[in-house]
């Protein structure tokens, strides 16, 4: 929870109006992100810890209940995909 996620070199996260979604861009590739993936990665700024991100999302989506497990699992998965680094 104290780890700080940051995008791996060459990965860019941005909103695409034409696709009405957040996407992750990388060398010759693009992943269209669903709503929750977009909301989580939108918090990744290389400064905030996983705990900070969970707190921020819980505030943003008060009806969603505790989000710690889901967010951690997603970020682990994103690391496994080599989208982000956690340190």
Partner 1 sequence: MSTTNPHNAGPPLWLLAELTYRCPLQCPYCSNPLDFAQTQQELTTEEWVSVLRQGRTMGAAQLGFSGGEPLVRQDLAELIAEARHLGYYTNLITSGLGLTEAKVDAFAEAGLDHIQVSFQASDPELNNAVAGSRKAFDQKLAMARAVKEAGYPMVLNFVIHRHNIHQMNDIMDLCERLGADYVELATCQYYGWAFENREGLMPSKAQLVKAEQEVNRYRERLQQSGSAMNLIFVTPDYYEERPKACMNGWGNLFLTVAPDGTALPCHSARLLPIDFPNVRDMDLQNIWYDSPGFNHYRGDTWMPEPCRSCDEKEKDFGGCRCQAYLLTGKADNADPVCSKSSYHDRILAARKAADHATAGLTELVYRNADNSRLFFRG
CB 83 within 8 A of CB 11: yes
**Rounded CA separation 25/62 (Å):** 30
Q: State which of residues 16, 45, 73, 77 lies at the interface with partner 1 (CB under 8 A).
A: 16
Q: Is 26 in the site for partner 1 (CB under 8 A)?
A: yes
Q: Which of residues 3 and 16 has its CB atom nearest to partner 1 in the complex?
A: 16
Map tokens 């034409």 to a residue.
18
Q: State which of residues 2, 18, 66, 87 lies at the interface with partner 1 (CB under 8 A).
A: 18
Q: Is 86 in the site for partner 1 (CB under 8 A)?
A: no
């Amino acid at each position: 929870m104290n780890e700080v996620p940051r995008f791996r070199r060459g990965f860019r996260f941005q909103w695409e109006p034409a696709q009405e979604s957040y996407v992750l861009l990388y060398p010759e590739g693009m992943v269209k992100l669903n709503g929750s993936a977009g909301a989580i990665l939108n918090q990744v700024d290389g400064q905030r810890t996983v705990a900070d991100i969970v707190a921020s999302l819980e505030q943003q989506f008060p009806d969603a209940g505790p989000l710690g497990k889901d967010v951690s699992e997603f970020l682990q998965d994103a690391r496994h995909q080599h989208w982000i680094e956690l340190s």
